[in-house]
Amino acid sequence: MKKIIVTSEKAGNRVDKFLMREVFLNLDKTRGEIIRYIKAGNILVNGKIAKPSYLLKEGEEIKINIKKEKAEIIPNKNIKLEIIYQDKNIIVVNKPSGMSVHPNDVEKENTLVNALVANFPEIKNINDGSVGSWMRPGIVHRLDKDTSGAMVVARNQKTFIELKRKFAQREIEKNYVAVVYGHLEKKSGVVDEPIARSASFKKQKIARGKIKGTSRPAVTEYKLLKRYGDFDFVEALPKTGRMHQIRVHLAYLGNPIVGDAKYKRKNLIKPAGVNRQLLHAQKLKFELFGKEFSFQAPLPADFQRFLDEIGKKG
């Protein structure tokens, strides 16, 4: 059981938002899950069940008693994996858009991990032992649900540890492509702007104005690949790995990604036939155990179709 005493600086915060920011931010828990814990009595304020919207007072005690989750993933052989490469140490897949990387409170069976465990059962116990890590076996990096592209997965613990280190030390080159609204002011450049959670928790933002929590450094290189009428096709190379980093940085430039409902401006209209943000992890390049690797994930059909359509319009 974990106990927290509310300080004067934290008084006045909603209990659900306080817990999301101060306790569960890096533990793969959604605010919805936290609300369910509160309503179920797993989280108490001064020994009583409080409403998620309850405003905390200085000196109050929060008790958190959440039972350990059953560490079991449901294998799903019905999900077809597009495997780019595999050997004894790694699996490289082209993740489709619309698929979450690992199980969560909402989706437990139809994620990339469910498919991986069905096809590569040896990965199911590969993790770093942190809270909730059993849900992410072999996973050393992630893509947003609606972002497609190349992902590398570890097949053994030694490889898992080494790849995690390489991602942390920025030794892995990641190249993304995206279609953005409008035209870049500069055809190439670097966005070096820290990112933080917005006060609403609904999205990330450049760490200016009203934010919650700590801002974190974020750097993205970008360049124009081709101009199409009212859109630009761009390449983005993230040098750090913050949540939604490319999406936030391109929106900061004034060129949000087409189809990105979270970060686009209200006056921008989503083109017909676009059902997700047109962001694709196209390339991965790294060295592992003395061998150089370079992988490329082909553009998915919906992405290529949109490029073809805007190409016809000039």
144 is catalytic: yes
Q: Assess whether 137 and 265 both reside in one domain.
A: no
**240 is written with which tokens?**
């750090």
**Does 26 score more than 60 pLDDT?**
no
Model confidence, pTM: 0.78
Q: Assess whether 268 and 200 both reside in one domain.
A: yes
Q: Assess whether 308 and 197 both reside in one domain.
A: yes
From 28, 105, 144, 308, the catalytic residue: 144
Domain boundary among 64, 92, 114: 64
Q: Assess whether 37 and 73 both reside in one domain.
A: no
Lowest-confidence range among 195-204, 227-236, 248-257, 288-297?
195-204
Domain boundary among 169, 198, 224: 169
Residue 90 lies in domain: 69-169
Domain count for the chain, please give it.
3
Q: Assess whether 255 and 133 both reside in one domain.
A: no
Provide the pairing of β-strand 279-288 with 148-154. Answer: parallel
CA distance 133 to 126: 9
**Does 202 score more than 80 pLDDT?**
no
**Does 249 score more than 90 pLDDT?**
yes
CA distance 17 to 24: 10
CATH code of the domain containing 59: 3.10.290.10
pLDDT tens across 67-77, in order? 655 568 999 99
Q: Assess whether 197 and 308 both reside in one domain.
A: yes
Q: Assess whether 162 and 92 both reside in one domain.
A: yes
Q: Assess whether 163 and 127 both reside in one domain.
A: yes
